[in-house]
Amino acid sequence: MEITEGLFDNMVLQRNGASVSEAAIHGTCTSEGEVMARVWRRGRILRGFDSRKVGRARHGRFEGLLKGLPAGGPYDIELRIPGRNDGRGGEPVESVTVRNVLVGDVWVLGGQSNMQGVGLLSKRLKPVPQVRAFYMTDEWDVAEDPLHTLWCAKDPVHGGDTKVPRKPPPVPTGVGPGVSFGQEMFRLTGIPQGLIACAHGGTSMSQWDPALKDRDGHSLYGAMLRRVRRNGGRVAGVVWYQGCSDATPEAAPYYTDRMVNLIRSMRRDLGDRELPVAAVQIGRVVWRAASQEVWWNSIQDQQRRLAGRIRRFALVPAVDLPLEDTIHISAEGQHVLGKRLARAMLALLEGREKDARPIGVRRASVERDPVSGKANVVVEFDNVSGRLRCGGRPGGFSLSKGNKPASIVYRTDLEGRKAILRTVLPPHEISSYRVYYGQGHDPYCNVTDDAGRPVPVFGPLFFGRPRALSDYVRKLRTSPILPPENMETLRYPADMGALRLETREFAGDFCDRHLEIGPAGACLVYFACRFKCAEAMRLRIHLGYDGPVKMWVDGKEVLYDPAGTNPARPDDALIPVDAQAGEHEALVALDSNGGRAWGIYLRFERLDVPRRLLERWPPTYAMPEILS
């Protein structure tokens, strides 16, 4: 007999809801008949497992279900196909014995290098026998960094050599949060823990695409599924740390949708609709181009908002943790992070959704300081344990109009569950600013609550007078790539049919066509949006663009900007339009700017809504309806 799935030396079997094993086992054999199990714990046969039928063998294969082993162990387990005199002094036809098996909770560790681990090995934690790992060699052993043994991985996607031993190469790094997570979960629950190492440094969400699962071990998602299924197909949850590789203008707009799809797919493919996921919000990075900061912060803020899209999801901040190099958390920081992940995951398991969530941002508002007369920006938080606190001067908050913090905040005070940013500007000049915490690549953030939980990175956070703003338009009619024209003399097309417009839905708020425009070089593209007003409306069209642009509404030119250039900003132009009840059309012509343009942002603001209606939620006033 040879076991191929579900039961191996030194492994941790995933317990079920009754806290006992329910392990599906598969293997090969040469005999046929019943498959029996005998289980020992501490040298004695476990009651009820002297000779328990667990499966059947036929046609060269066997399968079974080992159910009922209590959480804990370790157990030695013999599987056998009985012979004619088995049990009366005879021998089984075939048998196999698996030793040192535990029953507890098993976790997938996924993501990129900070999950893989780059902390100094000289500071790794001492192993705990009840915390095991399924290394990339497909071997179970006591969990000790480095967990992610890519150099000898079975799955080709990791680029390892299966002939190389698991003993790590002579490198000084390899500590991630996994061991700390497992040991803290064991300390909190007393239940053995198993860690299935699946992370790979430098990987992006597109490389983790569930659509690639049919490639099996030649894809990251396929390799993860294979490793889980080899161990019975059931896990307690997923611990995730990824996002750095997606902090680019090409990938960031798709991050939220890709994460939602990834977790939905994991839950479907692992057969658990409520599979809990604890993820890390990416932290700091040093020595990266300042032009990329907006995308880094975009990923962080999208991660903060994921709990609003994904149930049974917890986010753990890491922005306050020390680094080992320019982007990787140090061993000491990883130990802290693992404990944070464990506490968040335990709250999910126990149904304490509020405790699983990080400190939340409730709102930001502007007040007039009674002494100085200047603007105080008040940021209110929820899900705070006790009060907000810090060591020394609060760091991390900023106000910004664009990508860089403005030097207008001279003092930040923490008062209970509020942060008060005292500025040098009068209240009427603050409305165009946005609030951030942790803006940029390398902020200094030191605000926590009384439980030591850090405030997550957030921003941009809007404040001031409520505004009737639509969502960004993602479905537009677009033209193919057209020859360039003189934008100054360009007129509204006499024949709209000649533009060959086709409906297209974009994945993000930015209607991005750079993959087509870039190779074409000098060219022209059109974007058309039909909208319907249920009543007369005074509108402001917010248009962002990264090349010379013209815009018409109902055939009338309303904008010409020959100086449009990278990068596109959502409010490059604010265009007032009085729209009567009925259908209208906005048409945008975008010059490629020599192939450097990417696309447009487009949304609508209604200006004639009374404040009392603006303050109601959900909205009761009409907005332009976007037509396909």
Alpha-carbon gap, residue 51 to 39, rounded angstroms: 8
Token pair in block for residue 395: 């760091």
Of residues 619 and 198, which shows the higher confidence score? 198
217-275 confidence digits (pLDDT tens): 999 999 999 999 999 999 999 999 999 999 998 999 899 999 999 999 999 999 999 99
More confident of the two residues 291 and 122: 122
Q: How far apart are CA 468 and CA 621, in angstroms?
A: 9
Give the CA-trace dihedral at 248, 251, 255, 261, to 10 degrees.
-160
Q: Which domains does the chain have, with CATH numbers?
A: 2-103 (2.60.40), 112-259+282-346 (3.40.50.1110), 360-461 (no CATH), 468-627 (2.60.120.260)
Token representation of residue 438: 């942790």
Q: At what angle do helices 331-349 and 178-189 cross, to 10 degrees?
A: 40
Q: Which residue has the tokens 């003399």?
A: 489
pLDDT at 85: 59
Evaluate whether 150 touches 158 at the Cβ level (below 8 Å): yes
Q: What SS3 class is residue 554?
A: coil
Q: What is the mean pLDDT of residues 387-414?
A: 91
pLDDT of 109 > 80? The answer is: yes
Per-residue pLDDT, 313: 97
- Read off the pLDDT band of 441 (50, 70, 90): very high
Instruction: Return the half-sphere exposure (C-beta side, CA atoms, 13 A cut-off) of residue 52.
Output: 19
Rounded CA separation 554/543 (Å):
16
- What pLDDT score does 618 carry? 40
Percentage of the chain exceeding pLDDT 70: 97
Of 269, 259, 278, which is closest to residue 316 (Cα–Cα)? 278
Mean pLDDT of 194-214: 97
Q: What's the pLDDT score for residue 242? A: 98
Residue 136: pLDDT over 90: yes
Q: Which pLDDT value is given to residue 257?
A: 94
User: Is pLDDT at 428 greater than 70 in this prediction?
Assistant: no
Share of the chain above pLDDT 90, in %: 84
Whole-number Å distance between alpha carbons of 116 and 199: 5
pLDDT at 615: 54
Summarize pLDDT for 606-620 with one digit per residue, the tens: 999 997 777 553 467
**8 Å CB contact between 140 and 227:** no
Q: Angle CA(253)–CA(259)–CA(265) in degrees, nearest 5? A: 140
Whether pLDDT at 391 is above 50: yes
Which residues sit opposite 535 in a β-bridge? none
Residue 165: the pLDDT is 86
Q: Identify which of 343, 355, 15 has the alpha carbon closest to the alpha carbon of residue 188.
A: 343
Among the listed residues 617, 591, 619, the one whose alpha carbon sits nearest the alpha carbon of residue 605: 619
What's the rounded mean pLDDT across residues 470-486? 93
**pLDDT, averaged across the chain:** 93
Q: Helix (H, G, I), strand (E, B), or coil: what is residue 475?
A: strand
430 band by pLDDT with thresholds 50, 70 and 90: confident
| CA atoms of 77 and 39, how far apart (whole Å) | 5
Work out the average pLDDT over 25-33.
95
Grouping H, G, I as helix, E, B as strand and the rest as coil, residue 267 is helix
601 forms beta bridges with: 544
**Confidence band of 465 (pLDDT split at 50, 70, 90):** low
Torsion-angle region of 240 (φ positive above 0: left; ψ -120 to 50: alpha; else: beta)? beta
Q: How confident is the model at residue 87 (pLDDT cuts 50, 70, 90)?
A: low
Place of tokens 């490639």: 215
Rounded Cα gap, residues 384 and 568, in angstroms: 37
